[in-house]
Structures are given as structure tokens and as C-alpha cells.
Amino acid sequence: MSLDSYVTLGRSGLRVSPFTLGTMTFGEDLGWGSSPQESANILAAYLDRGGNSIDTANIYTNGHSEKIIGDYFAGRSALRDRVVIGTKFFGNLYENDPNGGGPGRKAIVQQLENSLRRLQTDFVDIYWLHNFDPVTPVEETLRALDDLIRDGKVRYVGFSDVPAWAAAEAATIARFRGWAPIIALQLEYSLLERTSEGELIPMAQALGMGVMPWSPLKSGFLSGKYSSATTGPVDTTRTQLVGAPSEADYVVIDALDAVAREVGASPAAVALAWVQGRPGITSTLVGARRIDQFEANLQALDVTLTEAQRGVLDDVSAPTLNFPADNNRTLAPMIQFGGATVDGRRSTVSPLLQAGGARY
């Protein structure tokens, strides 16, 4: 795999790299990010390898991330047209302003205008709803986004961190109204966070949405910095923000380290390769604070896991999902297929069916 092995994002005509460059770390404003120069170096390295998908948000380093990206592409209009820039709305940059953020029409329009100003571009390729507001009518949000697409300021729409039922409702309304569809989801997904497998990822697959996982290294827990055998300080500046791995996390981390040694790659590369190879995943968000970290993460492009190695990681990280996930996975095929093999999966015969031979 390579960054220029492009993939189609959901039910759309948009093609992106299998790894999308995440830029939440662009800017040192919060005390732990990358300097503008280091950010530019990371961006250049990504583009030089054939990468074409860049993800940011209006609130990343209070708008500095967008500005760094805008400064990089300023005067490079031809290059700008060849990349896919996605940014997000929802986050409020103005204290005590009730309309400064969120998915209402007034908020969406002003957030986009400010993002376009910082990015120094006339349009964004993907405009992502960054979070969920249960009060604002989804019709208001969808119509405002459709208007922005008709105005040429937005090309595609995506949802991030929205419950499956709300995303499905929005996708259905957009389809029936003839408004711009939701082509992709962003969600947290890693060996240490797999609960999206319950409803979000199956919903995306059923409705033709691509999936872009964020935090595939779980805030650095899967980067190789941590193991149950390691003592002493860890090379991270975000401990106060994200905490440290739990005892249950270390069971998964140690298994990842063992597979990484077997593969001859870093734990981070193996963790990223595992995520990108999972069902329903289109393009994984990869970021870094330093250029050496970024280049190390890109080694995941060269990692191929065997079925046995994937099985080890799948089993050790298996999540506990909400009802009815387990019921649908085990009971449903038992009572539906009665022991038959369907689509390559063998079912079991229900004990209730075997209990008596009479059929009425």
C-alpha cells in the first residue's frame, strides 16, 4: 500500500489517500503541538509521498491549524486544487456567544467564512459536522450545508462523533429531500476503542458512507511508548490531557508489542495497519507532533499482517458492545439458518430445534 493508492470515499466521486493527514497538532498554542515550520515539514513530507487528504477543524489550536495550512498553500493554487482539504464546524471560538458554534444556520455560515479566511481558499472539499446537538433541527443543518454546496463553498458533507441513529436519520432526510448526502463518518477507532463496531460502522456500510477513524493510536497509548514492562518517564506532552493506559489497556498493548516484534515493525505501524485493514474503514487519520514520528507512522504502509496475527489482535481487543450486538451476532444466525453455512459462515443448530423431532 502507498499514499497514492487512492480509495473512493463512501458513495461519492471523491478519492482520498488511505491515510489522511490529521492536523490537530499543528500549532503550539496549547503547549504540546508542532511549530509552524515543523507542521509545514510534515505537510510537505505527506504530499511528497503522494498523500492528498488533509483534515483540520476550526477549533484546532484555536484556528491556528487552519492558518498554517492556508499559509502553506498560499500562492500554490495548482497544488491546492490537487488536494482534498476537510475542516469541521461546531466548535465555538467566542466566549459567551450562544451562536458562535453548533450546527444552526447562523453558526454554520459564520464558521465557514472564518475557516475559508484562515485557509485562504474559496472552498473546502469536505465540511464535517464535528459533534452532536440534539436540539437544532437536523433539517436546518442539512439545508444550510446544501445551500453552501450550491454556492460552491463546500464540495462534500461528512459527520463526526454523531450517534448512529442521528446520522442515519440525517442521511435518510437528505436522500428524500434531494439535499447533499453525508458521504463519510469520522469516529474514534483503535485496538483500544472498538465500540463503533456495534452500530456506527455497520450503519456507514449499509448507507454508503466512508469511515475515517481518528485516534488510531489511542492518544499515543499504542505508539510503542507504553508497555507493562516499561518504567520511567514517557515521551509525551499530553499526559495531563489524556491520562495513562489502564491495566486492561496494557493487556492489549503487550499483545500488540508481541505482534510487532514478530512482524519486525513498530507497534504504531502495526496498530495503524490493523485499523486500516478493518471492514468498513476507508482512510485512517494519522497525525504527529514531530516529523520523525510522522515518518515512523507511515511505515504502516509497508506492514502486512497475517490472518493469524490479525486474529491475535482481534481477540485480545474484542469489545463489549451494546445490545443487541451480541444477540444479532450469535442468536440470530442460529435461529435463522439452523446449522446451514451461508456466505461462508457456518451457523449452529438451536438446542430448542434439536430438543424435539416433531414439526407442526
360: exposed, middle or buried (C-beta count within 10 Å: 0-12, 13-18, 19+)?
exposed
pLDDT higher than 80, residue 234: no
Residue 235 banded pLDDT, cuts 50, 70, 90 = low
Which pLDDT belongs to residue 229?
80
Indicate whether 231 pLDDT > 90: no
pLDDT, position 241: 65
> CA nearest 289: which of 106, 104, 35?
35
The dihedral formed by the CA atoms of 237, 239, 242 and 245, expressed in degrees to the nearest 10 = 130
Going by pLDDT thresholds of 50, 70 and 90, the confidence category of residue 177 is very high
* N-term to C-term CA, the chain: 56
Please check whether residue 309 is in contact with residue 259, taking contact to mean a CB–CB distance below 8 angstroms: yes
pLDDT at 240: 58
Share of the chain above pLDDT 90, in %: 92
Global confidence as pTM:
0.93
Are 195 and 187 in contact, with CB atoms under 8 Å apart? no
Q: Specify the pLDDT at position 244.
A: 87
Q: For residue 238, name the pLDDT band (cuts at 50, 70, 90).
A: low
Closest CA to 109 of 51, 69, 149: 149
Mean pLDDT over 271-276 rounds to 98
According to the model, what pLDDT value does residue 357 have?
Answer: 85
Q: What pLDDT was estimated at residue 228? A: 84
* Contact indicator for 14, 183 with CB cutoff of 8 Å: yes
pLDDT score of 193 more than 70: yes
Q: What distances in angstroms separate CA 36 from CA 8, 29, 100, 107, 198, one per listed residue?
A: 31, 11, 26, 28, 39
Give the pLDDT of residue 232.
56
3-state secondary structure the chain: CCCCCCEECCCCCCEECCEEEECCCECCCCCCCECHHHHHHHHHHHHHCCCCEEECCCCHHHHHHHHHHHHHHCCCHHHHHCCEEEEEECCCCCCCCCCCCCCCHHHHHHHHHHHHHHHCCCCEEEEEECCCCCCCCHHHHHHHHHHHHHCCCEEEEEEECCCHHHHHHHHHHHHHHCCCCEEEEEEECECCECHHHCCHHHHHHHHCCEEEEECCCCCCCCCCCCCCCCCCCCCCCCHHHHCCCCHHHHHHHHHHHHHHHHHCCCHHHHHHHHHHCCCCCCCEEECCCCHHHHHHHHHHHHCCCCHHHHHHHHHHCCCCCCCCHHHHHHHHHHHHHCCCEECCEECCCCHHHHCCCCCC
- What integer pLDDT is reported at residue 242 of this predicted model? 67
Would you state the cell numbers that stand for residue 178, as one nine-digit string? Answer: 434531494
pLDDT confidence of 1, banded at 50, 70, 90?
confident
Whether the predicted pLDDT of 237 surpasses 80? no
Q: How far is CA 184 from the centre of its chain?
A: 9
Rounded average pLDDT over 157-181: 98
pLDDT band at 58 (very low <50, low <70, confident <90, very high): very high
125: how many CB neighbours lie within 10 A of its CB?
20
Lowest mean pLDDT among 30-34, 59-63, 90-94: 30-34
One-letter identity of residue 6: Y
Question: What pLDDT shows up at residue 3?
Answer: 97
Short-list 188, 250, 187, CA closest to 218? 188
Once rounded to an integer, what is the mean pLDDT over residues 43-69?
A: 97
Tell me the pLDDT tens digit for each residue of 123-156.
Answer: 999 999 999 999 999 999 999 999 999 999 999 9
The per-residue pLDDT of the chain, averaged, comes to: 95
Known catalytic residue: 60? yes
Question: Mean pLDDT throughout 297-322?
Answer: 96
**Least reliable range by pLDDT among 180-194, 233-247, 250-264:** 233-247
Closest by alpha carbon to 149, among 117, 93, 108? 108
Average pLDDT on 246-270 reads 96
- Cell numbers for 304: 502486512
Q: How far is residue 214's CA from residue 131's CA, in Å, rounded to a whole number?
A: 13
Cα-Cα-Cα-Cα dihedral sign, residues 42, 214, 276, 306: positive
Q: What is the pLDDT of residues 64-109, one digit of tens each?
A: 999 999 999 998 888 999 999 999 999 999 999 999 999 999 999 9
Whole-number pLDDT of residue 239: 57
Residue with the three cell numbers 515518518: 295
Q: Which of 6, 60, 127, 189 is an active site residue?
A: 60
A 10 A CB-CB count for 198 gives 19
In this predicted structure, what is the pLDDT of residue 233?
59
